[in-house]
């Protein structure tokens, strides 16, 4: 199965394990933060602050490993078309990240994870279309086995859950999250691996991560303004709710997930990330 997933080196296996552990931890914490009795908070403001942390971390990584801040600014000027292209996956991830909080307030983690496994097959189809590369029979077999395995693993939670009685709106939001995840993951991989006409040639992963997070901050800020909730986001009550151990842990984990995802899609692919 490791060869089917492309986990043929210790680096790839380490990235994969770290990615899975971070995502599972974040889902459990988000679900806990939405349970009765937990402090109410503005989810979009949490996502925005998380993206700000990611941008700071990506910039720090660039300065530490890739070059000076002045070189980062110059590299950005030299790759403006690529910077603009990152607005698309950033919007999709913005939608996805906000819907995580909404959907985990409706569906329990077991049901949520079972239903989200449908994106594995969808990712396989989109992967072939965008990369004009057919998956082998073994790869499709691996996709089917992983999908069934993930569903079976959570099946007991699914059958005993009341989440299946959710409203039509809740199901549509879950479908929107699923589609946003699939398209964002595959398109980001396309950019990271240079399938954009060579625009990413010479642009480091840390800088491309920074492009993503810069756009994400703009999109989340726009969402708050469109909802008329910008004032609510900076209100003392919301900030106090955010500064709790659970929410701070979520922000720390999601910030790490964001950085790991960039390397994940660079060294592996969106098919490997789909089960999480």
**60 is a domain residue:** yes
From the list 62, 49, 161, 156, the residue with the least C-alpha distance to 98 is 49
**77 is a domain residue:** yes
From the list 197, 204, 185, the residue with the least C-alpha distance to 274 is 185
pLDDT at 17: 75
Question: The tokens of 262 are what?
Answer: 């960039």
Q: What range defines the domain where residue 234 resides?
A: 9-106+167-273
pLDDT at 170: 86
Averages of pLDDT over each 10 residues, the chain, 276 residues: 57 72 75 68 87 94 94 95 95 91 80 71 68 66 67 54 67 90 85 74 90 95 88 84 87 82 62 49
- Say how far apart CA 53 and CA 48 lie, in whole Å: 9
**257 is a domain residue:** yes
58 in Cβ contact with 259 (< 8 Å): yes
**124 is a domain residue:** no
Kindly list the distances between the CA atom of residue 247 and the CA atoms of 26, 101, 199, 236, 253, in Å, as whole numbers in the listed order. 10, 11, 37, 15, 10
Would you report the helix, strand and coil content of the chain in percent, each value rounded to 5? 80, 0, 20
From the list 202, 1, 172, the residue with the least C-alpha distance to 82 is 202
Q: Is the dihedral of CA 112, 115, 117, 122 positive or negative?
A: negative
Question: The tokens of 213 are what?
Answer: 């997070």
pLDDT at 153: 56
Helix ranges, 79-132 (H): 80-85, 87-103, 109-116, 118-131
- Say how far apart CA 149 and CA 168 lie, in whole Å: 27
**234 is a domain residue:** yes
pLDDT at 5: 52
86 in Cβ contact with 200 (< 8 Å): no
pLDDT at 235: 85
**233 is a domain residue:** yes
Number of folded domains that form the chain: 1
From the list 172, 171, 123, 166, the residue with the least C-alpha distance to 147 is 123
């Amino acid at each position: 199965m490791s060869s089917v997933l492309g986990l043929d080196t210790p680096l790839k296996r380490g990235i994969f394990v770290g990615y899975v552990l971070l995502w599972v931890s974040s889902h459990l914490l988000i679900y806990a933060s939405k349970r009765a009795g937990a402090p109410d908070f503005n989810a979009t403001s949490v996502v925005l602050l998380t993206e700000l942390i990611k941008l700071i971390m990506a910039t720090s990584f660039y300065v530490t490993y890739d070059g000076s801040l002045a070189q980062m600014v110059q590299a950005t000027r030299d790759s403006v078309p690529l910077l603009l292209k990152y607005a698309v996956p950033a919007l999709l991830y913005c939608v996805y990240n906000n819907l995580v909080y909404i959907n985990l307030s409706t569906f329990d983690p077991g049901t949520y994870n079972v239903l989200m496994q449908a994106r594995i097959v969808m990712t396989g189809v989109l992967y072939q279309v965008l990369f004009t590369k057919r998956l082998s029979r073994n790869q499709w077999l691996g996709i089917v086995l992983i999908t069934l395995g993930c569903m079976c693993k959570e099946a007991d939670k699914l059958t005993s859950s009341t989440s299946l009685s959710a409203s039509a709106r809740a199901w549509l939001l879950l479908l929107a999250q699923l589609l946003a995840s699939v398209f964002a993951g595959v398109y980001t991989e396309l950019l990271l691996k240079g399938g954009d006409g060579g625009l990413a040639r010479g642009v480091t992963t840390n800088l491309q991560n920074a492009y993503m997070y810069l756009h994400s901050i703009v999109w989340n800020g726009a969402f708050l303004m469109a909802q008329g909730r910008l004032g609510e986001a900076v209100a003392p009550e919301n900030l106090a709710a955010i500064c709790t151990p659970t929410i701070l842990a979520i922000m720390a984990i999601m910030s790490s997930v964001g950085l790991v995802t960039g390397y994940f899609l660079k060294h592996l692919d969106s098919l490997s990330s789909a089960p999480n």
